[in-house]
Chain A
Amino acid sequence: ETGVTQSPTHLIKTRGQQVTLRCSSQSGHNTVSWYQQALGQGPQFIFQYYREEENGRGNFPPRFSGLQFPNYSSELNVNALELDDSALYLCASSLSEGLLEQYFGPGTRLTVT
């Protein structure tokens, strides 16, 4: 158990809809990163938040957006869902921007039909 939780576990949405995924970081962790893992692929970096501000972003369109709250929990929002957005979405929390003490949550599996 890493202490990182994600909700919901599974989600089915229709193309064009909007979705919000949630991540609760391990206690005291002020940095959260989000990754998208398509079927049969490795995770790809979406963005990172550090102390409530976006700290870096991968090659994802603006319809992928995020928030980090004062308690360091986090949301990933995706607007105008496309079929290719179907994937496992992983969040990872860490105490700083370093990676050696980073812990992943179990992921949210999103299916877009």
Chain B
Amino acid sequence: AQKITQTQPGMFVQEKEAVTLDCTYDTSDQSYGLFWYKQPSSGEMIFLIYQGSYDEQNATEGRYSLNFQKARKSANLVISASQLGDSAMYFCAMREAISQGGSEKLVFGKGTKLTVNP
């Protein structure tokens, strides 16, 4: 079974600065995928970025980038130029098969609470 570890319960960053949120994973699969989600206080999980294990380049989506280090089994999220609206919970997740038919589920870490200070 896949396992996701997020060791930072909370992080603080000044507005306009960059911040890195850590994520390590454990899997015996050769092919896998990693996701980052943002969860504001409203509760909805918002997809941010995805990295496939065979992707040659680190994923980027606007101010979000993923620092993917396969040998270390880490997939850290980097948020550049932090904004006050970035304050939220951030979850790292991994896809896992739930049947032989190709269906999948997400396995989540415990999350990191990011606070952006003005």
Contacts and interface: CB of A to CB of B under 8 A. Distances in A.
B43 A109 contact: yes
Contacts, number: 68
Contacts of A109: 43
Interface stretch (B69-77, B80-88, B93-101): B93-101
Q: Is the interface of B mostly helix, strand, loop or mixed?
A: strand
A50 B103 CA distance: 9
B44 A104 contact: yes
A43 B45 contact: yes
A70 interface: no
A56 B103 contact: yes
Nearest to A46: B105
Interface in A59-113: 88, 90, 92, 97-100, 102-107, 109
Nearest to A102: B47
Given A42-B110, A42-B111, A107 B44 contact: yes
A44 interface: yes
A45 B95 CA distance: 11
Interface residues of B, number: 27
Given A56-B99, A99-B33, A100-B50, A43 B44 contact: no
Contacts of A55: 98-99, 101, 103
A42 B38 CA distance: 12
A41 B107 CA distance: 12
Contacts of B111: 41-42
Contacts of A103: 47
A107 B43 contact: yes
B68 interface: no
20 contacts: A2-B44, A33-B106, A35-B106, A41-B111, A42-B91, A42-B108, A42-B109, A42-B111, A43-B91, A43-B108, A44-B108, A45-B98, A45-B106, A48-B98, A48-B103, A48-B105, A50-B103, A97-B101, A97-B104, A99-B35
